[in-house]
Amino acid sequence: MDQSLRKAIAILEDLGEIHYVDRPVDPLYEIGAVMSLKSRGPSQVFSNVRGYSMPVAGNLFNSRAKIALGMGVAPERLQEACLQAINEGIAPEMTEEAPVQECFFESPLDLKRMLPVPTWFEQELGPYITAGIIVAKDPETGRRNVSIARLRLEGGDALLAGISPSHHLSRLMEKAQARGEELPIAVVIGNHPAVLLASQMYVELGHDEFDIAGALLEEPLRLTRCRTVDLEVPAEAEIVLEGVLYPGDLKDEGPVSEFHGFYEHYGPGQAVRIRAVTHRKDPIFQTILPGFAPEHLLLGGVAIGATTCNALRKVIPSVRRVLVTEGGMGRVHAVITLKEPRAGEGKRAILLAMAHTNLLKFVIAVDDEIDPEDPIQVAWALAARMQGDRDVFILPGMKADRCDPMERDLMITKVGIDATTAPGERGPEAKYQPVHPPREVLEAVRKDLDLY
Ligand code: MN
């Protein structure tokens, strides 16, 4: 099958989910402003970017349904598809047929002239590539890692990479530094949603995210060799920047946006130099609106939910889904559904989720007849099932992620609520019985509902 971003865009276009913006737009703040104001609903393809011939696409996978449909997966199967892909990866295969290498450029490179990279927010100090997956290899084991980090254009062939210290790329960088080496990287822009989603999975170091992408595609991801570095990249991507990351070479990044919608001051970023650029003849420049924006929250949130669910199910078989909510920044709030949990199992699942995924700080457990994607149903479960003194528990002094806006000295208070049905409150012996019309009437009407 076609493994390109443009294929996914064509699928969304058929569903009426792509809006072409023909009006001239400026990459300096204007694209960011349009994407902020239209972050939900149809995605944008800006075909007339001032100073560039390359179109800019954004807000492409800004709902769970669009992430799934873009990959050719039924939306209700999204988490199952992720779980299967984590556990049963499909290794990539190599190809010489690489549309992403139709055009080749070497130094001197002026990335700012070549690429329509948006400058997003008032206080950020330059344009940021936000949808570039970074491919690198472990200098000790040769195992591949694929992840996203923000990359700021610094003029000419220079970039500044903002890499979270908890991410694998930081570990690879430290290993390279210990050996006195640079770290070759390839930044791939314009990716199929299976590749983007795979890059966000919280799997162990050495687990190749391209194996996960292959399983999501249900066939090996086709890779091609880079021209100037010893790395392989998706052959059907839009643009590749081949270069080197210099571990010791740091520069203060200034204020940067984060998923919570505030500026952060993380300190130094890593210097990167790009040696070569390859792209298609007519490349699409893909972006993800950073900050508290649906696509940014959901690509991470879907992956965090799937990896957390995978860990939970290994110990608690009654766990059905883990949903990291969009309101909870796609990172810090989760709803776990369980099928007829035993006494105390809801609380156990909550504790495991918080321990497994450091970012999670507010976790609610509900029965599996609650749709965790529906905030009204989750609120109903709280109203119908929660006894405050029994079901709410507060855990002060827990380790925090540095990204959490409530972190103080890297500590935080976590809160869990077990809103599953308590034993004795379920079944025919329960004090409160649910109301409904007679089952046989309900089922008969449901079968022919379209006729009413
Ligand atoms: Mn990794």
Tokens 């007849």 sit on residue = 369
Would you state the pLDDT for residue 248? 85
C-alpha of residue 346 to centroid of ligand 1, in Å? 29
SS3 97: coil
Return the CA Rg of the chain. 23
Q: Could you give the count of Cα atoms lying within 13 Å of 330 in the half-sphere of its Cβ?
A: 22
C-alpha of residue 324 to centroid of ligand 1, in Å? 20
Q: Compute mean pLDDT per 10 residues along the chain, 452 residues long, and list them.
A: 96 97 98 98 98 98 97 95 98 98 97 98 97 98 97 98 93 96 97 98 96 98 98 98 94 96 95 98 98 98 98 97 98 97 96 97 97 97 96 97 94 98 87 94 96 95
Would you state the pLDDT for residue 425? 87
C-alpha of residue 200 to centroid of ligand 1, in Å? 8
C-alpha of residue 195 to centroid of ligand 1, in Å? 13
Residue 339: which of 420, 258, 433, 447 has the closest Cα? 420
C-alpha of residue 201 to centroid of ligand 1, in Å? 7
C-alpha of residue 102 to centroid of ligand 1, in Å? 29
C-alpha of residue 164 to centroid of ligand 1, in Å? 12
Contacts of 87 (CB under 8 A, 6+ apart): 310
C-alpha of residue 300 to centroid of ligand 1, in Å? 13
Structure tokens at 65: 């349904």
Are 302 and 82 in contact by the 8 Å Cβ rule? The answer is yes
Burial class of residue 245, CB neighbours in 10 A (0-12, 13-18, 19+)? buried
C-alpha of residue 251 to centroid of ligand 1, in Å? 25
C-alpha of residue 1 to centroid of ligand 1, in Å? 25
DSSP letter at 40 equals S
C-alpha of residue 142 to centroid of ligand 1, in Å? 13
Contacts of 441 (CB under 8 A, 6+ apart): none
Angle at 425 between CA 419 and CA 426, to 5 degrees: 95
Separation in Å, CA 247 to CA 145, 219, 270, 380: 16, 35, 6, 50
Would you state the pLDDT for residue 80? 96
Distance CA 163, CA 176 (A): 15
Would you state the pLDDT for residue 427? 86
Torsion of Cα atoms, 33 then 35 then 37 then 41, to 10°: 170
- Which amino acid makes up residue 319? V
C-alpha of residue 355 to centroid of ligand 1, in Å? 19
C-alpha of residue 203 to centroid of ligand 1, in Å? 6
- Rounded (10°) angle between helices 64-71 and 294-315: 80
| Conformational region of residue 267, where left means phi above 0, alpha means psi within -120 to 50, and beta covers everything else | left
C-alpha of residue 156 to centroid of ligand 1, in Å? 29
